[in-house]
Amino acid sequence: MSKPYGYAGKVLRINLTDNKITTEPLNPEEAKLFLGGRGLNAYKLYREVPASTDPMGPENKLMIATGPMVGTMFPTASRFNASAKSPLTGIFGDTNAGGHLAPEIKFAGYDQIIIEGKTEKPSYINIADDHVEIVDGKKVWGKTVFETDRIIKQTHNDHRLQTLICGPAAERGVKYAGLFANQTRAASRTGMGTVMASKNIKAVAVRGTGTIEVAEPETFKEQVLELEKEIREHEQYAGRRLMGTTRILMMADKAGFLPTRNYTQGTFEHAEKVSGERLAAEYNVKTRGCFACTIPCSRIYTIKQGPYKGLHGEGPEYESLGSFTSRIGNPDIELALKANDLCNQLGIDALCTVGCIGWAMELYEKGLLSKDETGGLELNWGNPEAILTLIQQIADREGFGDILADGSVKAAEKLGKGLEYTVQVKGMDLIMADPRGLKGFGLGYAVATRGGDHLRSEPFIELSDDPSIGKKMFGAPGATVRMADTGKGKLINYFEDWCAVIDALEVCKNIMQNMMLLEFPRAAYAYKITTGIEITPEETQMAGERITNIERMFGIREGITRTDDTLPKRFITTPLKEGASAGTVLKLDQMLDEYYQTRGWNPETGHPTPQTLKKLQLEYAIPHLPNHTD
C-alpha cells in the first residue's frame, strides 16, 4: 500500500541517549487499525514499553501523535495526544490538548514523534521540517512555561513556531506535571510533563512548511461545509461560543453534582459568583480558538482591579474554574483565575493539584490534620493564602507541598492517614462531576484506562434523562437516565469506543462527540475521503474498541484487575444530603458486571478474554494475560 492521504506519512524517532534521529514510514495497516493520535500511541507504547519499565527512567518513551485530518480545514481537527507510562499511576499515561501544535507537527512531516532515552544535559528538541536537533537547554531550564515559550521563539527568531513545554514543577519531579502548548493548552493529565523532564528535555519546538493532501478534495470540502453549517446551527453553539466549557458550572450546580468542598456537597452556595456566566459578563475581553475551529470557545480574561490587577490570560476551562472554586470552597472567582494561571506557569495539572489541596483541606477541617503537620498553613476551605502558597510549594517540592507532589494517594501514605478521603481512581484525581448524580460517569471513572477520568467515555447523553434514547441505542432505558443504575455498562462500552475514535482522529470531543456530529458512520466517511482508505462504520467502532482494549492490556500487564476498577468510598456508601442528586449512591459492582459482559471481558478478573483480543487482532497481547498458559 502506498502512503495514504491525510497522514503526513512519517514517524520521527528521537533517541536522546545515542543522539540518533531517524524516521520510519507510517505503516498504513497500523494506521487503519488504530486510526491515529491516541490509537497510534497506545499501540506503539504497548509494543515498545514492556511491563515494569521505570516511568522516570530512560527506557520509558514519550510519544506525541496527531490525526489524519489535522492540518486541513476539517473543523476542530487540531489535537494531539502525548503518551508514556505514567509516573503518577504506573499504568497507561495519556493526555490530549488542542491549540496549534498538532497541525505544525503535520506540516513538519510527521504523524508521530517518539522520544526515547535521556540526554546528559538539560536540552530541548527543535524540529524544523526535516531538520531535527537537540539544543542546549541552559537558557530555558528552570523557567516557567510562559518564559520558556518566549525564549525559544526569540532564540529561533520565529514567532510562528509551536512549542510543547514542561514547567519547573516537572523538572523537580512533581508526579502530575503536564505539557503545555500555546502556553495554556494543558495536556496535563497523568504526568507526561514529568516524563519529558525525566529525559532532561524541557520542550519540543516545531516549525513545518509542508503540505497535507486529502484523497477526495471536492467531497472533502462539501463535508467540511456541511459540518460547519451544522455546528453553527446547533442549539449548543451560542453557549459554547460565549462561555466554552465554563457554561457547565451552573448546570452542574442546578443538577446537584457540582463537587463542593472535596465532594462532601453537590451544590455550592456561591455558584453564581464563580460561574461561566459571570466570567463572560465581567472578565472576558476576547475569544480564541484552536486551529480550524468553527466555535472558537476559549476566552481571554483580564482583571482590572484588586489584588490580582493586571492578571490576564487564556481560559480557564470548567474543570479548573470549578476546581479552584466550589471544590475547595472558594467563592472568589479572581482567586481561581490566579490559581489557574499559577498552575499553567509552573506546569502542573489543575485537577490533581486541587485533588491534593481539597483532600488536605477536608482533613484539616475535620481536625485530622494539624497546623504543625502543614508547616503552619491554615487549610480552611477557600483560604486564599493557603491555596496559592500550596500551589507554589507543590511545584517547588517544598514544605507541605512536597508531601502532596506525588499525588493524593502517596500523600495519604506519607501521612499515614486520610486515604478514604482522597477522590481518585488508580492514583489519578477525579474531575469536576460528582458521580452520585451521574451514575454512568461513575462507571466511566472506575474503568477508564488512564485512571480516574471522564474523557475516556464522557457519556454526556445521560444528562438528557430521556429513557427513550437509551432504549433505542442500547435496548436499555436506564442507560440515558442519570440517576439510574442499569444499562450503564452498555453506555460506557459504546461511549468509550466512540471517545477512542474521536481522540485517534484528534478532533474535538466537545463538538464532534458532545454535539453528536461525528458518530461512527460519518467518522468512517470522513476518514475515507481524507485518507483514501476504505473503512466501514463497524470497522471504525472496532478501532475504538481495539484502542480501549490495548490500553486496558497495558494496565493489566502492570497488574490491574477488577479490584482496581473502583471508586472513592463515599460514592459507594454515602449519599449526598442536599440538591438534585441527593439520596443515592453507586451500585458499582452491578454496573461493572454489565460492563465486563458487554466488553467480552472476564467478569471475575476484568481481563479481556483471549477470544476478545483475537477478534480485535490483538493476538500479541494474549500471552500477557495473567495465568495465560501457552
- The residues of the shown chain that bind another protein, judged by CB under 8 A, are 71-73, 100, 103, 107, 146, 149-150, 159-160, 182-184, 209-214, 217, 221, 228, 232, 285-296, 298, 300, 302, 304, 310, 312-314
CB 384 → another protein: shortest distance, Å?
22
Alpha helices in 233-376 (DSSP H): 237-243, 248-254, 276-282, 318-323, 333-346, 350-365
CB 506 within 8 A of CB 67: yes
Min CB(165)–another protein separation in Å: 11
> With respect to another protein, which residue has the nearer C-beta, 179 or 292?
292
Could you give the dihedral angle defined by the CA atoms of residues 245, 249, 251 and 252, in that order, rounded to the nearest 10 degrees?
120
Q: Provide φ and ψ at 210, rounded to 5°.
A: -80, -170
Q: Is 288 exposed, middle or buried (0-12, 13-18, 19+ CB in 10 A)?
A: middle
- d(CA 233, CA 237) in angstroms, rounded, equals 7
Nearer of residues 183 and 493 to another protein, judged by Cβ: 183
Q: Which is nearer to another protein, 288 or 410 (CB)?
A: 288
Q: How far is the CB of 251 from another protein (least distance, A)?
A: 24
Question: Cα separations (Å) of 472 from 19, 468, 469, 478?
Answer: 56, 6, 5, 11
Q: Which is nearer to another protein, 217 or 623 (CB)?
A: 217
Task: Identify whether the C-beta of residue 410 lies closer than 8 Å to the C-beta of residue 175.
Answer: yes
Q: Taking the complex as a whole, how short is the minimal distance between the CB of residue 310 and another protein, in angstroms?
A: 6
Nearest residue (CB) to another protein, 514 versus 612: 514
Minimal distance in Å, beta carbon 71 to another protein? 6
Tell me how far, at minimum, the Cβ of 146 lies from another protein, in Å: 6
State how far Cα 360 lies from the chain centre.
Answer: 24
Shortest CB 76 distance to another protein, Å: 10
Cβ distance to another protein smaller for residue 159 or 233 = 159
SS3 letters for 143-180? CCHHHHHHHHHHHCCCCCCEEEECCHHHHCCCCCECEE
Q: DSSP 3-state assignment of 127?
A: strand
Nearest CB to another protein, comparing residues 290 and 515: 290
133-172 as b/e, with b when 16 or more CB fall inside 10 Å?
ebbebebbbebbbbbbbbbbbeeeeeeebbbbbbbbbbbb
In angstroms and rounded to an integer, the radius of gyration of the C-alpha atoms of the chain is: 23
Calpha distance 311→306 (Å, rounded): 10
Please, which residue, 302 or 566, has the CB nearer to another protein?
A: 302
- Least distance between another protein and beta carbon 502 (Å): 19
Q: How far is the CB of 296 from another protein (least distance, A)?
A: 3
- Cell 468510598: give the residue: 569
Of 380, 374, 377, residue with least CA distance to 361: 380
Beta bridge partners of 179: 187
Could you tell me the smallest distance in angstroms from the CB atom of residue 139 to another protein?
Answer: 18
Q: How far is the CB of 107 from another protein (least distance, A)?
A: 6
Name the DSSP class of 348.
B
Comparison of 276 and 608: residue with beta carbon closer to another protein: 276
Residue whose CB is less far from another protein, 286 or 414 = 286
In the bound state with another protein, the residue whose beta carbon lies nearer, of 182 and 510, is 182
Sheet holding 298-302, edge to edge: 284-288, 298-302, 312-314
